[in-house]
Amino acid sequence: MYNEFTAIIKHTDSWWIGWIEEIPGINCQEKTKEELLDTLKITLKEALELNRQDAITAAESDYIEESVTIK
């Protein structure tokens, strides 16, 4: 599965800071732009997996998984 998200990044003083536009709470800070983008990817992946597990736990049992695509 391929997903694309938008990173909003900014260089301020000696830090690079960034957010994932589509997912609240995903924000990181690193010394280089490359490190920031890597950290954002890792944090996003972890947050999506946590959200996925939370949804499955909330559904308890007898649930159906369906793909949803938006354009």
Digit-coded pLDDT (tens) for 31-57 = 999 999 999 999 999 999 999 999 999
Looking up tokens 């949804």, which residue turns up? 55
For the chain, the domains span: 7-59
Q: Are 10 and 33 in contact (CB under 8 A)?
A: no
Check pLDDT > 90 for residue 2.
Answer: no
**Beta strands per DSSP E along 1-71:** 7-12, 15-20, 27-30
Q: Are 27 and 7 in contact (CB under 8 A)?
A: no
Percent of the chain clearing pLDDT 90 (strictly above): 89
Check pLDDT > 80 for residue 1.
Answer: no
Check pLDDT > 60 for residue 18.
Answer: yes
pTM of the model: 0.86
